[in-house]
Structure 1
Amino acid sequence: MFQGWNALLASVWGCCLIGFTWGQLSDSPDVLRNWCLDSDYHKPQPGPEPQLFSECSPWKERSCCNATVSKLIHHNVKVWHGFQFRHCPPQVSSECLRFFRRDFCFYECSPNLGPWVEFEYARKSRQQRFRNVPLCASECEAWFHACKDDLTCVRNWGSEFDWIEGTNRCPENAKCQLIRDTYADAKDFCETVWDNDFKYTPDNEPCMVLSFDPSSGNPNDNVTEAAISRHMNSINSMLNRQRIMERSFSCRISPSIAVSRGIPKLVCDFSFREFDKMRQLKGKPKETPRQKKERKQDFSPENQHKALRVALPIFVGFWVLIGIFIYLNTRPKH
């Protein structure tokens, strides 16, 4: 019986933890630090790639893409994964393309995205995507500035295009206009253009960059570590509450067994208090058998008789006073 309660409690809290971490595909810090997306072009695990090309070269020490992919990004950037940047003529500016090359290298090569990865069901080329990765505000501003005079016909490039014969096309009746007129500002651009891949984040908070000097290390590692730390602290907090509840149940079911299992009496006393606090937060506590018995005693015939002896004179006196008041106010005046 005692072990059954603990098993049940552990199962309930396990379900809670699963729900809490649903948006994150692993709770292992080591896995989250070295995550490659599950897609057609990503490696299973990050590793050294000394021959990475141009804008992808910052990830050469630890990369999820290989040299071939990095070259394809640069040679075929105008049509990558079937996506055409020239969906509105004329040509896309070279400065804007440079930022999108960096974006593609970040997507294909970065091993730092574990805490933000989720399942992707709608694409054949990938089974995972990242969402709301904190991108530094300065990075967003520079990207938006580089592309603001280029043209587009939709706001969300990840979901609003029509796909015909394997490539993206502007929807019928869609109007091509400048990017600076399509998006309110750099924040709107960064967060919308790729369907919430990125979250515009102040530079004084942990945030990622699309490119960096590899000789100084990968600054995005620190951002991933901060996200992992926050997540693990949340998990530990929930586990601590689980332990408190387990001790409380153990103490309530059988204090002697709890003590025999190594739970000191002081811990039991503390657990009682913590459990009561948690229970009060959830509403009125369930009535115990003793409380139920006392409540029934309050309504015993003897107590009812005592109450009647007190209440009846008061009741009669009240109506007598009402009668006198009515008589005095309605009697004929001479």
Structure 2
Amino acid sequence: MALPMTTQLLLLLVWVAAVQAALPRTDLNVCMDAKHYKQKPGPEDTLHEQCSPWKENSCCSLTTSQEAHKDISHLYRFNWDHCGRMEAVRKRHFIQDTCLCECSPNLGPWIQQVDQSWSKEQILDVPLCKEDCPCRWEDCHPSYTCKTNWHKGWNCTSGFNQCPVEAACRPFDFYFPTPEALCNEIWSHSYKVSNYSRGSGRCIQMWFDPAQGNPNEEVARFYAEAMNRAGLGGACSLLLCLALTLLWLLS
């Protein structure tokens, strides 16, 4: 016996939703749904210092770019000097990191949904160019920290992050014994060191010369197309399974 029309429509809606859920998010020009981000990327007349490469098309405002350069900004109340003063030559790496995360519209293929008070989305395993991490690791050697993951687990009773009572301040290479450990682990695996070099079109650059264009646009396009192909294969398999089930229910 054929199913009622309302039941058929309900099954069709479930079918469509399931196929959509099977496809990855592969936006090429998008801002994360999170605190301080613009709803849509667009040009900014000026962005502050290390955020300036993204002024032609940015997810951050001038105010956000200025706050990204402060020791304890209103963005996330993060204190770079939690184990003594971090010198400017080392701090610049983390400011570049912040600028990339806050300003780049080219992180769509790696955006994941999360359930956090300050963010509905975050990035995961963004492939960084292999040259960027050794440089950061070498510069940060003389600095001290007390944690491997800077995203969570801090003592924030003072209004900004301080080391937990049981965490000792030690040189960076104690908590991050390799460049890969530093880039991969410090922000809950938001980034992942790749085997690709700058200019390959296969890795995201933390910093680039805006006069030469934004190389991360090509990278996002490559991974979006790859994810679409993989996602389409999985969705087609699911589609076939659902189609057969629907035909059986309607027979």
Q: Does 1:144 align with 2:137?
A: yes
TM-score, scaled relative to structure 2: 0.84
Instruction: Pick the structure with more helix per residue.
Output: 1
1:15 and 1:159 map into 2 onto residues whose CA distance is 34
Please give the alpha-carbon distance, in whole angstroms, between the structure 1 residues aligned to 2:204 and 2:249: 51
Give the aligned length: 243
Name the CA shift for 1:122/1:12 in 2 (closer, same or farther; >3 Å): closer
Secondary structure in structure 1 of the residue aligned to 2:206: coil
SS at match of 2:156: strand
CA distance in 1, matches of 2:143, 2:230: 43
* 47, 66, 71: which one aligns with 2:66: 71
Q: Equivalents in 2 of 1:93, 1:16: separation in Å?
A: 51
Within the alignment, does 1:228 sit opposite 2:224 as a pair?
Answer: yes
Query: Do the aligned residues in 2 keep the contact of 1:51 with 1:60 (CA within 8 Å)?
Result: yes
The 3-state SS of whatever aligns with 1:149 is coil
Deviations 1:260-285 (A, max 9, x none): xxxxxxxxxxxxxxxxxxxxxxxxxx
Question: CA distance change for structure 1 residues 169 and 246 in 2, over 3 Å: closer, same or farther?
Answer: closer
User: What does residue 105 of structure 2 align with?
Assistant: 111
Task: Pick 1 or 2: higher relative contact order, CA cutoff 8 A, min separation 6.
Answer: 2
Residue 117 (structure 1) shift:
1.5
For the Cα contact (< 8 Å) 1:116–1:130, is it kept in 2? yes
State the one-letter code of the partner of 1:159: K
Q: Which of 175, 188, 192 is the equivalent residue of 1:199?
A: 192
Partner SS for 2:31 = coil
Q: Deviation string for 1:105-147 (max 9, x for gaps)?
A: 1111101111211233233x33321111111121111111121
| Structure 2 letter corresponding to 1:219 | P
| Native 8 Å contact 2:22 2:234 kept in 1 | no
What amino acid does structure 1 have at the position aligned with 2:148? R
TM-score (norm 1): 0.64
Q: Select the residue among 24, 30, 36 that pairs with 1:35.
A: 30
Aligned-pair identity (%): 28
Kept in 1, the 8 Å contact 2:44–2:61? The answer is yes
CA RMSD of aligned residues (A): 2.9
Compare 222-231 and 96-105 and name the one that shifted more.
Answer: 222-231
Supply the AA of the counterpart residue of 2:103: C
- Of 166, 169, 173, the match for 2:162: 169
CA deviation vs aligned residue, 1:34-55 (integer Å, no higher than 9, x gap): 2112233211111111311211
Q: Which amino acid aligns with 2:220?
A: T
Alpha-carbon distance change, 37 to 247 in structure 1, aligned in 2, over 3 angstroms = closer
Cα distance change of structure 1 residues 12 and 185 upon mapping to structure 2, 3 Å threshold: same
Shift of 1:160: 2.5
Distance 2:140 2:196 in 1: 21
Higher CA-based Rg? 1
Runs of 5+ consecutive residues of structure 2 not aligned to the other structure: none
| Equivalent position of 1:17 in the other structure | 19
Consecutive unaligned residues in structure 1, runs of 5 or more: 255-334
Cα shift at 1:222: 1.4
